[in-house]
Structure 1
Amino acid sequence: MKKYVAIGIIFFFLIVLLTGCARRGRPDGGPKDEDAPIMMLAKPVNLTTNFKEKEIKIYFDEYIKLKDLQKQLIISPPLKYAPVIKPLGTPSKYISIKILDTLKENTTYTFNFGQSVIDNTEGNILNNFKYVFSTGDIIDSLKVSGTIKDAFSNEVDKDITVMLYEVNDSFTDSIIYNEKPLYVGSTLDSTAWEITNIKSGKYLLLALKDASKNYKFNPKEDKIGFYKEYITIPTDSSYTISIFREELPFQLKRPSEAAKGHLLFGYEGVGDSLKVQPFSVSEKFESFTNFEKNKDTLNFWYKNAEKDSIQFYAINNQYRDTLTVKLRTKILDSLQIKSSVRGVLPLRDAFKLSGNIPIESIDTAKIDFIDKDSSAVAHSFSISKDKDEIVLDFVKKYDQKYSLVFFPEAITDFFGNVNDTLTYRFTTKRPTDYGNVYLTLQKVKSYPLIVQLITERGKLVEEVYAEHQQEYVFKNLVPDKYLIRVIYDNNKNRKWDTGNFLLRKQPEEVIYFNTVLEVRANWEMTETFMLE
């Protein structure tokens, strides 16, 4: 019996010992792989000269995937026919590139994969992986680099394509509309760019926000930037390019009906002087036009049309056209009124009402405006030139509550529609609830200037047109973060003007103050802006 007990005890300890050993030897997966894939072999080898192959295979030390290849891959010079590249969506230990194009003689080609090559397990990125070859005897090795900025905005678009066109005997300015460049690069997610493996020569340096990804400039959808002079490579210079959207040549679009009595004349280009004049209409026919805010559209309002169509003369500077609009819609829009104020009326703002139909008249006898003590408030109303706003003028009192009531038929629009009862309640605050900014500019190159105070989101708060040195005072500002934008108004037309490639005209210079102004309540800020 003792013998069996002893054997049992020994057997138990053996099990415990083996279990402990098994636990100590249990794998935990090892350290996390943080290494990018490594190219092991390429056929033909990287930097091959006298290249004549139709397929390239690039082998790696582990399984890889291609991520966002369409966005990341830059082939320079661009190919007419896109190569077939694998793998797409499935892991592989190699990249296959099948070339479908006829390659140029004595040219260095670069396949820059950007950040598209990643390992299959952890997604580690092989940054800026390139495969380079030449169809000639040498690999071109020169390069050029620089940065991109937006000509007007403080924010810069991502994925800007930078291009070089060789300036030779066949070069013309129209080449950017019709042909692909000789060399290309990209900013991807930054503002910096670099083009490598370039041969020496003279070039046009161009940048596009290339919406169609076809390496050709389409003014209707692309932003453009260019260096004013041709550049010569080799160079040690770094180039900053400002991108902008060109103004399109004026073109009137096909008119459309928004509602009965309301036509829309959309257009491209500058339409500030656009006029549409009806003809062959009855004596009772009445009309009014205004421009849609923030849209390239002219509103044409009409009533008492006796025919099912209207003929127009359209005039805009040198533009002339005649057109006919068929009238099909039978339903008038109803009058809608919106207030510019929600709760609090800032001391620097006016109380405004906007209408979706031109405002024809206001009956002040049907309006009641009182303060928190139910005392009548002296006031007046005006209708804007475009008849789309009603502006209330009164002396604001601090820390006050107001009630404004428009009784029925107080407001009449172009068609004779009237309002139902409209009630607006709002308050004002004290001056100590706001902040003030005092700004001085130094190292100004020339006048006039347009000095703008904007929010971080780009909304214009106040604008000052300056023709000489002065202090800029922005008072009663709602506590928030603000930016200062300065525009050199070279042509003195009181607005920012964009550029034009064919005219070799750069946009008017815009400079942002590099400090965000954090305005606080009951606080004054004094700032000096060096325009360098």
Structure 2
Amino acid sequence: MKISDKTNSLNLLLAMLMVSGTAFLVACASIGNPQGGPKDTKPPVVVKSSPEAFSTNFSGNKIEIEFNEYVQLKEVKQLFMTSPPMQKQPDITMRGKKVVVKFEEEFRKDVTYSMKFFNTISDFNEGNILKDYEFVVATGNQIDTLQVYGHVWDSQTLKPMENMFVMIYRDLTDSIPAKSLPDYITTTDKTGKWSIRNIASGKYKIFALSDANMNKKLDLADGAIAFSTSFFEPKASWKSSTDTLVVDSTKVNDKYVYRDTVITSKKIVYTPDSIRLRAFTEKSDLQFVESITRPEKGKLSFIFKNSLGKNDKLIPMNFTKNAKTVAEEYSINRDSVTWWITDSLVYKLDTIKIKFNYLGLDTANKQIEIADTLLFGFDFAELLEIQSNRKKKEDKKSALGVYFETGNANMLDIGRQPFISFDRPVTIMDKSLISLMELVEKDKTEKNIPITLESTSAANRKFKVNVALNEGAKYKLVVDSAAVRDIYDNVNDSTGVRFSLITKKFYGTLILDLKNIKSQTIIHLNTAKGLPAKELVVTKDGKYTIENVMPGDYFLKAIVDTNKNGKWDTG
């Protein structure tokens, strides 16, 4: 019995172990996510290519580049370029881990070509970018190695110009950028920086442009351009530099004594390495309509490419224009105009037709008179729905909008005056209902201040408040209800604004010590956002003071006014 009991106990123990083991095996086989290693942060690596990079005597029409992993191409059709450029864009495809480039035209003889992929190649999984990748081959028996570097800035704002084509030419004639493709080409990055490598020796002229039609030629009138009036020759030279290298150390009297040596190293330096190009947009005299709108039934807005001249005329085609039917309002530069239609028979038309006569150029670049028909449609059904919904809420006409100009944060600069403007041209104004009060802090009273109102717009929409203001004083400008009536018989609601006149101690003073002034120079003080703050015209060296400068960040810009016309000119 005892043996039997022991046997049964042993069998039970084995059974328990088997059950436990089974549970353990099941637990080990449970499904879960595999634990990976660190995130891949390395870009793809080229393992081989056909032909090899920097090959000479290349005569094929295809290049294959193989990487150590699967890669993807992003915006390669837009960004890829060859230098020298080609007339036809090559066909670029993926084949496994390979990038295949097939060329549609023959290569030039005895030229080094750089295939610029920029940042278009990245690995498939993590998107790690192979930055600024270039593949170089030569059709001759040597690789050209000269290089040039530089920047492109906006000549007006001094900000870097991104995505500008920078092109260099062996042909030094002035008209070459409009006639031929460049000998070498690249584009600027977001800092305005550019570099062109693998250049042959010789003398070059340089040119940059924003090429809207991507044909790499100067053939558009409204793009930004930059050039240098001097030529350059790329060169390479060895530059030596010395440094101290610690060889070993010995401990003497509890102090370490170091033995060092001076080493000399050499590196190749390429010049020029800092060509500075300042881009500008050449002013075009070509006139045309950029846009037209009819945001309200009686409001027509025109925007033109250039200021309207004596030969530019807007002529109504389905109504008669006179002082009773149209109130005109031009912008300061006369490159936009607004017509306020006052005749109800006209503004109720579904479509208002205007003819625009102006001088343009024919295919032979000869000046001719051109006539464009401008159609201004309006959806009256939508307007009726809006008016119906509004009438359910309030049975009255739309209030005339009133706006105040009283300085930034309602702090008016010394020497400035307040302005009042309205949505639409004004026909009736009760000036007794427009008032200005000085808020007297001492006794908490309001002192009425006499004012006069002066219209500053041809359409009678904007008015200057002429008044003598006290430095540091606080004011309240009020337009009472129904003080103003517009051309459509709408009146304003009561409204007002509080503002103060800045004190002189709030301002700063800028003292400039100018040297090397050789001709009339315009000094611009601009805000950090590039907005003009102050202007100074100088003709000689000396110290100059700019007063009443608001606190903030500024930068200075100097324009050498060679033709003494008081403004910056292109070209």
Name stretches of at least 5 consecutive residues in structure 1 with no aligned partner: 500-532
Q: Specify whether residues 29 and 491 from structure 1 end up closer, same or farther in structure 2 by C-alpha distance, changes over 3 A only.
A: same
Q: Identify the structure with bigger relative contact order (alpha carbons < 8 Å, sequence gap 6+).
A: 1
* Distance (whole Å) between structure 2 residues aligned to residue 368 and residue 216 of structure 1: 61
Structure 2 counterpart of 1:202:
203
Q: Specify whether residues 443 and 417 from structure 1 end up closer, same or farther in structure 2 by C-alpha distance, changes over 3 A only.
A: farther
Structure 1 counterpart of 2:121:
117
* Distance (whole Å) between structure 1 residues aligned to residue 53 and residue 107 of structure 2: 17
1:2-27 Cα shifts (integer Å, max 9, x gaps): 6457757987998999999999xx97
SS at match of 1:80: coil
Q: Is the 8 A contact 1:396 1:428 kept in 2?
A: no
1:158-206 Cα shifts (integer Å, max 9, x gaps): 22221112216xx561x42343222111223332211112222332211
Does 1:186 pair with 2:253?
Answer: no
User: Which amino acid is 1:425 matched to?
Assistant: V
Q: 1:408 aligns with which of 482, 494, 509?
A: 482
Does 1:340 pair with 2:410?
Answer: no
Does 1:486 pair with 2:486?
Answer: no
Does 1:237 pair with 2:268?
Answer: no
Structure 2 counterpart of 1:352:
419
Structure 1 counterpart of 2:71:
64
User: Which amino acid is 2:449 matched to?
Assistant: V
For residue 390 of structure 1, report the CA deviation from its aligned partner.
Answer: 1.0
Q: Is the 8 A contact 2:109 2:140 kept in 1?
A: yes
Q: Specify whether residues 92 and 390 from structure 1 end up closer, same or farther in structure 2 by C-alpha distance, changes over 3 A only.
A: farther
- The 5-angstrom pairing of residues 154-165 of structure 1 reads 154-165=158-169
Q: Specify whether residues 260 and 323 from structure 1 end up closer, same or farther in structure 2 by C-alpha distance, changes over 3 A only.
A: farther
Taking structure 1 as the reference length, the TM-score comes to: 0.75
Structure 1 counterpart of 2:213:
212
Q: CA RMSD, aligned part only?
A: 4.5
1:107-136 Cα shifts (integer Å, max 9, x gaps): 222102112222223333322222122223
Name stretches of at least 5 consecutive residues in structure 2 with no aligned partner: 1-5, 237-270, 347-351, 361-366, 381-397, 440-444
Structure 1 counterpart of 2:85:
78
User: Which amino acid is 1:267 matched to?
Assistant: F
Does 1:365 pair with 2:400?
Answer: no
Does 1:142 pair with 2:146?
Answer: yes
* Distance (whole Å) between structure 2 residues aligned to residue 43 and residue 284 of structure 1: 77
* Distance (whole Å) between structure 2 residues aligned to residue 92 and residue 375 of structure 1: 83
Q: Is the 8 A contact 2:148 2:197 kept in 1?
A: yes
* Distance (whole Å) between structure 1 residues aligned to residue 107 and residue 279 of structure 2: 31
SS at match of 1:365: helix
* Distance (whole Å) between structure 2 residues aligned to residue 162 and residue 358 of structure 1: 50
Q: 1:438 aligns with which of 510, 535, 558?
A: 510
Structure 2 counterpart of 1:102:
106
Q: Specify whether residues 248 and 430 from structure 1 end up closer, same or farther in structure 2 by C-alpha distance, changes over 3 A only.
A: closer
User: Which amino acid is 2:177 matched to?
Assistant: I
SS at match of 1:454: strand
* Distance (whole Å) between structure 2 residues aligned to residue 491 and residue 274 of structure 1: 27
* Distance (whole Å) between structure 2 residues aligned to residue 167 and residue 253 of structure 1: 38
Q: 1:268 aligns with which of 276, 299, 305?
A: 305
For residue 240 of structure 1, report the CA deviation from its aligned partner.
Answer: 0.7
Q: Is the 8 A contact 1:83 1:99 kept in 2?
A: yes
* Distance (whole Å) between structure 1 residues aligned to residue 502 and residue 376 of structure 2: 54
User: Which amino acid is 2:74 matched to?
Assistant: K
User: Which amino acid is 2:66 matched to?
Assistant: Y
Structure 2 counterpart of 1:428:
500
For residue 247 of structure 1, report the CA deviation from its aligned partner.
Answer: 0.5
Q: 2:451 aligns with which of 379, 404, 407?
A: 379
Q: Specify whether residues 57 and 264 from structure 1 end up closer, same or farther in structure 2 by C-alpha distance, changes over 3 A only.
A: same
* Distance (whole Å) between structure 2 residues aligned to residue 96 and residue 214 of structure 1: 24
User: Which amino acid is 2:163 matched to?
Assistant: D
Higher alpha-carbon deviation: 115-124 or 246-255: 246-255
User: Which amino acid is 2:417 matched to?
Assistant: A
Higher alpha-carbon deviation: 437-446 or 146-155: 437-446
* Distance (whole Å) between structure 1 residues aligned to residue 515 and residue 187 of structure 2: 34
Q: Is the 8 A contact 1:219 1:248 kept in 2?
A: no
Q: 1:392 aligns with which of 461, 465, 477?
A: 465
Larger Rg: 2
Taking structure 2 as the reference length, the TM-score comes to: 0.71
For residue 96 of structure 1, report the CA deviation from its aligned partner.
Answer: 0.7
Q: Specify whether residues 395 and 162 from structure 1 end up closer, same or farther in structure 2 by C-alpha distance, changes over 3 A only.
A: same
